[in-house]
Amino acid sequence: MSALAANSMLAAISADSMLRTITAIAALGAAARGARAAGSDPIATTTVIVHGYSPSEKGAWVQGMAEAIVARAGGVGAVYRY
């Protein structure tokens, strides 16, 4: 394969990837506008997932950090422990 053919193929792949990205962004924007037009504004929330700690070891610290993250996000959120 010549260098020119390789460059042309790379440009086509890049253009296709860019087109798919732009199409996806446009679709997300249209969905968000549709939700607002229907009067159902999305509610921004924060989700904190804590994993792999024992309640007897660092449990209070981990829980406190998770609650601080939710509080810093305006108090709208949830903490899931497993």
Residue 56, SS3 per DSSP? coil
pLDDT at position 54 is 67
Distance CA 27, CA 22 (A): 9
Any long-range contacts for 24-28 (C-beta under 8 Å, 24+ apart)? none
How far separated are the first and last CA of the chain, in Å rounded? 53
Q: Is the pTM of this model over 0.75?
A: no
Q: What is the pLDDT of residues 51-70, one digit of tens each?
A: 766 666 777 888 888 888 88
Residues of the chain with pLDDT under 70: 1-18, 21, 25, 28, 30-44, 52-56, 82
Q: Which amino acid is at 5?
A: A
